[in-house]
Amino acid sequence: MSPLVVMAAVGVIPLLVMEEQLTSSTAVFWLGVMDWAIWGVFAVELAVMLAVTPNRKAYLRCAWLDVVIVLATIPLLPYLLASLRIARLGRFVEVMRLLRLLRLAALANRAGALIQRVFGTSGLGWLLSGLIVLVVVSGTLFSFLEEGRNVPEGIWWAIVTATTVGYGDVVPASGLGRLVATVLMIAGISFIALLSAATAARLVELETEEGHEELLAGIRGQSNREREMREELQEMNERLARLEDLLGGNGRKPD
């Protein structure tokens, strides 16, 4: 997965948080620019892949979620539908804007290759780094969302939430805070499960490699012994042949 797409998908959460906290006209303008930029990353990636792939129909069948993300999260779409009076619900724009959370699904849609890397030697480092970054970012966002909470308290809450310990001493009260908590809990459970699976797989792999090395060493030792035995047998045959020649020459009668 492109790092730019990863950053764009993760950027959805702070965008929603800042939209809730910042209401000035200047902030709204730049948040709109940020929203368009995030959407543009997904749109450009989809356009590039359609341009370079030899079979576009097959690619669209595999990347249907990317198509849904690009079409359903256009920043102008909620306002366009509201202006056309397609929907008259008062909170229709806000509900449509929440569809931008679909961009987070792009991470899960491309997680297959990442999961395979996780079970390698370098994958554990990526997994641990991702968990640390997720905890720090979520804790920082929590400190901004919840009044009277500082960043250390937010990071403590993120650690407790990600590990599903749930002491309950620090809990979110706002809707967006609970949204961040939900994402963090799901991600934390997934990360811990993958870490446990990767550790177990690595231990089995090391044990298997050790067993293979012992087996190969035994096979090499057996081959060496067989080669030595063949050489000794060949040497004995040569000695026997010389002895027969010697005995045959001594016993021959003169003409």
Q: What share of the chain is helix, strand, coil (3-state, %, to 5)?
A: 80, 0, 20
Distance between CA atoms of residues 199 and 121, nearest Å: 10
What digits encode the pLDDT tens for the residues 137-166?
A: 888 788 777 767 777 788 888 888 888 887
61 and 16 within one domain: yes
130 and 85 within one domain: no
pLDDT of 56 over the 70 cut: yes
245 and 119 within one domain: yes
**pLDDT given for residue 124 in this prediction:** 58
**pLDDT given for residue 113 in this prediction:** 56
pLDDT of 88 over the 80 cut: no
249 and 139 within one domain: yes
71 and 118 within one domain: no
Distance between CA atoms of residues 144 and 137, nearest Å: 11
Domain boundary among 83, 106, 129: 106
pLDDT tier for residue 107 given thresholds of 50, 70 and 90? low
Domain boundary among 106, 127, 156: 106
Distance between CA atoms of residues 82 and 73, nearest Å: 15
* Tally of structural domains, the chain: 2
DSSP state of 166: -
70 and 129 within one domain: no
Percent above pLDDT 70 for the chain: 71
155 and 136 Cβ atoms separated by less than 8 Å: yes
Domain boundary among 51, 83, 106: 106
98 and 116 within one domain: no
119 and 19 within one domain: no
pLDDT tier for residue 129 given thresholds of 50, 70 and 90? low
Q: What is the extent of the structural domain holding 4?
A: 1-106
> In the numeric block, which tokens belong to residue 235?
């040497």
231 and 134 within one domain: yes
120 and 194 Cβ atoms separated by less than 8 Å: no
93 and 5 within one domain: yes
pTM over 0.95: no
